[in-house]
Amino acid sequence: MSLSFLNSTMRAAVMTGPYQVHIDQFPVPRIINTTGAVVRFTTSALCGSDLQRYHGFIGGEPPCALRHEASMNLLLEQEYVLLSHMKANSYTVGYIEFIGSGASYLEVGQYVIIPDNGATGHIDMGVVTGPRMGLAFGGLNGGLQAPYARVPFADMALIPVPLTAETTNTSIEQDSLTVSDVFSIGWIAVTRSGFEPGDTVAVFGAGRVGLLAAYSAILRGASRVYSADHVPMRHEKAASIGAVPINFMDSDPVQQILAYEPGGVIRAADAVGMEAITANGTMQQNIVLNQMVELVASGGEIGQIGIYLAQPNTGLAPNAERIMPEVSFPSPSSFRRVSDTKVVWQIPRLLLGSSST
Bigger pLDDT: 178 vs 272: 272
Could you tell me which residue, 73 or 200, shows the higher pLDDT? 200
**Together in a domain, 102 and 213:** no
CATH at 225: 3.40.50.720
HSE at residue 342, side-chain half, CA atoms within 13 A, is: 10
- 280 and 338 together in one domain: yes
Q: Which of 266, 261, 224, 232 is nearest to 248 (CA)?
A: 232
Closest to 288 in 3D by CA, of 192, 205, 189: 205
Whether 23 and 139 map to the same domain: the answer is yes
Q: What are phi and psi of 143, to 5 degrees?
A: -90, -170
Q: Where are the alpha helices (DSSP H) in 198-354?
A: 208-219, 232-240, 253-260, 287-295, 333-340
Give the domain range for residue 158.
Answer: 3-177
Fill in the amino acid letter for 299: G
Counted domains in the chain: 2
Mean of all residue pLDDT scores within the chain: 78
The 3-state DSSP class for residue 337 equals helix
- CA neighbours closer than 13 Å in the CB half-sphere of residue 231: 12
Strands of 137-193, DSSP E: 148-151, 159-160
Per-residue CA distances from 353 to 69, 83, 115, 273, 321 (Å): 14, 19, 18, 18, 18
Q: For residues 137 and 210, state if they share a domain.
A: no
d(CA 71, CA 157): 9
Query: In terms of domains, do 149 and 296 share one?
Result: no
Supply the pLDDT for residue 343.
53
Q: Are 278 and 168 members of one domain?
A: no
Predicted confidence band at 76 (pLDDT cuts at 50, 70, 90)?
very low
Q: How confident is the model at residue 315 (pLDDT cuts 50, 70, 90)?
A: confident
Kindly state whether residues 158 and 287 are assigned to the same domain. Answer: no
Whole-angstrom distance, CA of residue 53 vs CA of residue 55: 5
State yes or no: pLDDT of 104 exceeds 50: yes
- Check whether residue 154 and residue 236 sit in a common domain: no
Whether the predicted pLDDT of 73 surpasses 50 = no
User: For the whole model, what pTM was predicted?
Assistant: 0.79
Residue 357 lies in a domain: no
Model pLDDT for residues 140-151, shown as the tens digit of each residue: 455 677 788 888
Query: How many of the other CB atoms lie within 10 Å of CB of 240?
Result: 11
